[in-house]
Amino acid sequence: MVLVKTVITYGTFDLFHIGHLNILRRLRGLGDRLVVGVSTDEFNAVKGKRPVVPFNQRIDIVSSIKFVDEAFPECTWEQKRADFERFGASIFGMGDDWNGKFNHFSDKVEVVYLTRTDGISTTELKRVLSAFDERHVDELKRTLDSIGQIVKELS
């Protein structure tokens, strides 16, 4: 009998970026099959996050990545043990922002934390994009106008 080593991971994968691709590539390299739980919009609300890209698009993107064999919805914190069973997972991997948080699953799977890719995150992308937000552009214009006014008064 050939034993297939299945790796499992979870995430929101909003505004899919190179950090996401890197971790999926590295996780797939740890086994023969990678299955990925993609957090639904409702579960993100529970976590206090509001994804920019809706769930059906995020899961479509993740399942199209060549390192991913299957993607499924992550709807609750509690579903993990049932997922490990359902997919026959033997390795559970996450980025090291989760360091130590899932050690209690070590009775069921090997828990690994991989170093995150430096300098990129969805939060950072949202921050950069918000600079183009109309409100911010208006604020910037008002600030520049008042600087212009001060310069005029001083000259």
Backbone Cα Rg of the chain: 21
- Do residues 4 and 68 touch, judged by C-beta distance below 8 A? no
d(CA 115, CA 110): 16
d(CA 13, CA 11): 6
Please identify, among the stretches 13-21, 59-67, 81-89, 101-109, the one whose residues bind ligand CTP according to the rule CB under 6 A: 13-21
d(CA 53, CA 145): 35
101 is catalytic: no
Please give the DSSP secondary-structure letter assigned to residue 40.
P
Question: Least distance to ligand CTP from the beta carbon of 73, Å?
Answer: 14
Question: Least distance to ligand CTP from the beta carbon of 40, Å?
Answer: 13
**Is position 62 an interface residue for ligand CTP (rule: CB under 6 A)?**
no
Number of residues that bind ligand CTP (CB under 6 A): 15
Question: Least distance to ligand CTP from the beta carbon of 150, Å?
Answer: 38
Question: Least distance to ligand CTP from the beta carbon of 97, Å?
Answer: 5
> Could you say which residues in the range 73-132 bind ligand CTP, by CB under 6 A?
94-95, 97, 116-117, 120-123
Which token pair is 16?
């899919």
d(CA 145, CA 40): 43
Please identify, among the stretches 17-25, 67-75, 100-108, 147-155, the one whose residues bind ligand CTP according to the rule CB under 6 A: 17-25
3-state secondary structure of 35: strand
Please report, as ranges, the residues that interact with ligand CTP according to CB under 6 A: 11-13, 19-20, 23, 94-95, 97, 116-117, 120-123
Q: Tell me which residues are annotated as active site.
A: 47, 49
